[in-house]
Amino acid sequence: MLNGDQWKDHRNMLSPTFTSSKIKTMFKLMSECASRFAEHLSNLPEEQRETEMKGLLTKYTNDVIASCVYNASVDSIKEPKNVFYVYGTISTSIVTFKRSLMFLIHRNAPWLAELLQLKLVDSHIAKFFYDQVAETVETRQRTGTRRSDILQLFMDNNKKREPGREMTVQDMANHAFSFFFGGFDTVSSQTSIVAHLLAENADVQERVQQEIDETLENNNGELTYDAMHEMKYLDAVISETLRLYPIAPSIDRMCVKDFELPPARPGDKPFTVKAGMNIWIPVSGIHQDPKYYENPLKFDPDRFYENNRTIANSGAYMPFGLGPRMCIGNRFALTEMKVLLCHVLTKCNIKLAPRTITPLQFEKGVINITGKNGFWLAIEPRKSSYCFSTVSASAVSSS
C-alpha cells in the first residue's frame, strides 16, 4: 500500500485517465466486444443454451481489457487459447488456498512477500505484458499513430507533466497490469451475479429490457455512451446487486491518525485505533445492516431507482470503497457491465436452468467471488429482439 505523497503522485498520474469523458472515448471498443458476445449467446445451439456464465464472461472481460488497455484485438470465444486469455486466467486465479494466502501476504505484508520471494505472476507472463506496452508505446512515438485506449491516455498525460515526473514505460506496464489483474475476474463475477438475479426476478428483467428497447428507439436504434446513461433502472439493478453482493466483501485501510471508537456495548471501554494500524471494514455487513437498509436481504432495485444519489452519499454504500482511495477503475467497470447487459438483454432472455443453485451460494475460503458449482443459467433468444446499429465513431467523444 502506497503512503502519503507517493500515493498522491500515482493517483494524480492515473486520475485523468478514468474521467467520464475518457471512458466515453473507449465506449466503442467495449461495445464491439459486447456485441460480439451477445451475438454468440443468441446463436447458441439449443443443446448448449444451459451455460456456465462466469467462464463465458471472463472471455468478454479479457477481450475488453486487451482492447482498451493493451491495443490488442482478440476474440476469446472463437480463440480461447489466445495468449491474453490464457495468461490472464493463470495470473488472476486466486481460488486455491495457496494462491489466496500469497495474495493476502502481498496485500498486507509486502515486506514478507519480498523476503520469501513470493510471486503472484510468473516472470514470463510479466514479461509478455511489459513487452505489449513497450512495443505499443515505441510504435506510437515513432509513427505518431493514436488510438482511443488507456495507453494513449497515459502517453497524452505524460506530455502535461513536469520534466522528470512522467510515467516511465515500466510505470505504464505496472499500471496496465494492475488494471488487468483487478478487472479480469471481478467484473465477470459481478456480471454473473447480475445475470443470476435477473433470471430469478423475471419481472425485473422484463422492466430492464423494456427500458433498453425504449431508449434505443428514442436514439434511432443506436447504443451510445450517453444513451446508455439514460437507463436509470439498469443502473439501479447494478447498484442493488453491488449492495447485496459487493465485489469486495471487506476492504482494508491504514489508520493515519489516532481515533477513539466509543464502547461497543454498555459497560465496555472505548477502543483507540492507533495511527499505523491496519483495519478491515466489513462492506457486506454494512450493506446488509437493517440500520441502513429496509429489508436488507431483499433484492429491490427500486431502492436505488428512487434514492440513488442519497444512498451513494450515505457512507453506508461502498462497493468500490469510499473517499480518495476509492477504486479508480469503478467507472470503467460499471460501463463495461452496462454495455454488455444492454447488448445481451436486447437479444436474449436469461432463465434459471436445472443446474442453477438458488438462492445464490458461494465457495468459501477463496478470494475470488466464486459461485458454488459455478453460475449456471439458461439463455433463450428473444422472439422480438431489437436490432440496433453498431455505435459509430461520430457518436464517441474524442475529448
3-state secondary structure of 342: helix
pLDDT in tens, 127-156: 999 999 999 999 999 999 999 899 999 999
Mutual angle of helices 330-347 and 27-42, in 10-degree steps: 30
Asked whether residue 327 is marked as a ligand-binding residue, the answer is yes
CB-based contact 238:338 (threshold 8 Å): yes
C-alpha span between 142 and 159 (Å, rounded): 16
Flag whether 353 is in a domain: yes
Task: Give the residue among 244, 352, 247 at the shortest CA–CA distance from 298.
Answer: 244
Query: Does residue 297 belong to any structural domain of this protein?
Result: no
Give the mean pLDDT of 209-232: 95
- Report the alpha-carbon angle 224-226-231, nearest 5: 95
> Cell match 502535461: residue?
160
Mean pLDDT of 281-289: 95
* Whole-number pLDDT of residue 202: 97
The average confidence (pLDDT) of the chain is 88
Q: What is the CATH number of the domain that holds 172?
A: 1.10.630.10
CB atoms within 10 A of CB 8: 12
Please compute the mean of the pLDDT values over residues 196-216 and round it to a whole number.
97
**In terms of pLDDT, which residue wins out, 322 or 238?**
238
Grid cell, residue 170, equals 515500466
Mean pLDDT lowest among 9-18, 97-106, 371-380: 97-106
What pLDDT score does 397 carry? 38
What's the domain count of the chain? 1
Has residue 298 been placed in a domain? no
Q: How far apart are CA 317 and CA 281, in angstroms?
A: 12
At residue 60, does pLDDT exceed 80? yes
User: Mean pLDDT throughout 211-223?
Assistant: 94
Residue written as cell 451513494? 312
Helices (H), 201-327: 202-218, 225-228, 232-244, 283-287, 302-312
Summarize pLDDT for 316-352 with one digit per residue, the tens. Answer: 999 999 888 888 899 999 999 999 999 999 999 999 9
CB atoms within 10 A of CB 188: 26
Q: Is residue 293 part of a domain?
A: no
Buried b (16+ CB within 10 A) or exposed e, 316-341: bbbbbbeeeeebbbebbbbbbbbbbb
CA 386, 390, 395, 399 torsion: positive or negative? positive
Cell 450515505 sits at which residue? 314
Give 303's pLDDT tier (boundaries 50, 70, 90): very high
Q: Is there a contact between 167 and 320 (Cβ–Cβ < 8 Å)?
A: no
Residue 17 pLDDT grade (very low, low, confident, very high; cuts 50, 70, 90): confident
Whether residue 81 has pLDDT greater than 80: yes
Residue 7 has pLDDT above 70, yes or no: yes
In three-state secondary structure terms, 81 is: coil
Q: Give, rounded to a whole angstrom, the gap between the first and last alpha carbons of the chain.
A: 32
Q: Is the pLDDT of residue 398 over 60?
A: no
Q: How confident is the model at residue 254 (pLDDT cuts 50, 70, 90)?
A: confident
Determine the structural domain holding residue 122 and report its residue range. Answer: 4-197+314-381
Cis peptide before 324 (omega within 30 of 0): no
378, 50 in Cβ contact below 8 A? yes
Mean pLDDT, to the nearest integer, of 114-125? 81
Please check whether residue 22 lies inside any domain of the structure: yes
Please tell me the distance from the alpha carbon of residue 32 to that of residue 53, in angstroms, as a whole number. Answer: 19
> What pLDDT score was predicted for residue 386?
59
Choose among 2, 379, 32: nearest CA to 192.
379
pLDDT of residue 347: 96
Residue 95 pLDDT class (50, 70, 90 cuts): low
What is the predicted pLDDT for the residue at 122? 83
The mean pLDDT value for 379-399 works out to 58
Strand partners, 208: none
Which residues partner with 381 through β-bridges?
Answer: 348
What is the phi/psi pair of residue 174, to 5°? -65, -45
Phi and psi torsions of 319, nearest 5°: -65, -25
- Nearest residue to 241 via CA among 204, 292, 276, 203: 204
Q: Is residue 289 part of a domain?
A: no
State residue 385's pLDDT score: 59
Nearest 10 degrees: CA dihedral of 103, 129, 369, 367?
0
How far is Cα 226 from Cα 28, in angstroms, rounded to an integer?
12
